[in-house]
Amino acid sequence: MIYGYMSFDGGVRGGNPGHAGFAAVIRTGEREYVIARPMRGKKTNNDAEYTGLIVGLKYALHLGVQEIEIVSDSKLVVEQVNGKWKCDSKTMRDYQHEAKSFLDERFLAWKLSWVPRLENTVADAACAQAVLCSLNPWKPNHLDPFAPNSFLARPSRTRLRAMQ
């Protein structure tokens, strides 16, 4: 059984909605995988946060993860997916339903918890990189494992320090 730990983040610059990006950091054993992508068009912070969760879950499943522990600094996403807060809009209900269904149907066990932003620094830094790529589409995104000429496992903390 493969156990995974994931943190995710989403962010927006230039207003809300604005230029957005998301990131997910997945750890399995001693390996760490980072995916960070800019989003097209104007998106809200909640769009970016939910996209980080959903894409991160799909990536974890691709890596063979069967049980997953997830953390985020988005209180809204954590509480809505855990069923403690209601969704006020159809968009949020759709995101919540997709994330919850994916977790329930694809993973044997899962746990989603809120953490303060200072405990989500790797995902936060990767997300900041993705948002920069959203602001400047010519900026290369070195944290997208599905981009051409990339590879899956990246030493993310080292890579993130080198980019700053």
Q: Is 102 helix (H, G, I), strand (E, B) or coil?
A: helix
pLDDT band at 133 (very low <50, low <70, confident <90, very high): confident
Domain count, the chain: 1
pTM given for the model: 0.85
pLDDT digits (tens, 9 = 90+) for 37-69: 999 999 999 999 999 999 999 999 999 999 999
Give yes or no for a contact between 21 and 133, defined as CB atoms under 8 angstroms apart. yes
Check which CATH number belongs to the domain holding 131 and give it: 3.30.420.10
Domain residue limits at 22: 3-163
User: CA-CA distances (angstroms) from residue 53 to 10, 46, 61, 72?
Assistant: 9, 11, 12, 9
Q: Say if residue 142's pLDDT is above 90.
A: no
